[in-house]
Chains A and B, each alone.
Chain A
Amino acid sequence: MASTSAATVAPGRSAWDGGVSPMGASYGKLMMWFFLLSDAFTFSALLITYGLVRSSHHAYHGAVSAFKFDHAYWPVPERVYEAVPFFHGVELPLVFVGIMTFILIMSSVTMVLAVEAGHRMDRPAVEKWMLWTLLGGIAFLSCQAWEWTHFIVGTEAGTTIKEFVNGEWVTRVIHGANLVENQYGPPDFADFFFFITGFHGFHVFSGVCFNFLIYFNTVTGVYERRGHYEMVEKVGLYWHFVDLVWVFVFTFFYLV
Chain B
Amino acid sequence: MAHSEETTHVTVLPPDKEKIKKLWTVAGILGIITAIEFAIAFTMPHGPLKTAIFVGLTIVKAGYIVGEFMHLRYETKVLFWSILIPLIFIAWMLVAFVYEGTAISVVR
A120 to B50 alpha-carbon distance, docked (Å): 44
Which chain A positions have C-beta within 8 A of B100? 52
B75→A255 contact, CB < 8 A: no
Q: How many chain B residues have a CB neighbour from A under 8 Å? A: 56
When the two chains form their complex, are residues B69 and A122 in contact, meaning their CB atoms are under 8 A apart? Answer: no
Query: How many residues does chain A have at the interface if contact means C-beta atoms less than 8 Å apart?
Result: 60
Residue of B nearest to A58 (CB): B105
Query: Is A37 on the interface with B (CB-CB < 8 A)?
Result: yes
**Inter-subunit contact A256/B51 (CB<8 Å):** yes
The answer for the CA separation of A229 and B73 in the assembled complex, in Å, is 21
A98: chain B residues within 8 A (beta carbon): 34, 38
The reply to whether the CB of A71 lies closer than 8 angstroms to some CB of chain B is no
**Distance of A247 Cα from B61 Cα, bound (Å):** 8
Residues of A within 8 A of B75 (CB): 23-25
A121 contacts B by Cβ under 8 Å? yes
A residues near B78, Cβ cutoff 8 Å: 6, 23
B62 touches A244 (CB 8 A): yes
18 new A-B contacts at CB < 8 Å, known A53-B101, A121-B13, A251-B54: A5-B76, A25-B76, A44-B90, A44-B94, A52-B104, A55-B102, A55-B105, A78-B41, A94-B41, A105-B34, A109-B69, A113-B23, A116-B16, A120-B12, A121-B10, A122-B12, A224-B8, A256-B50
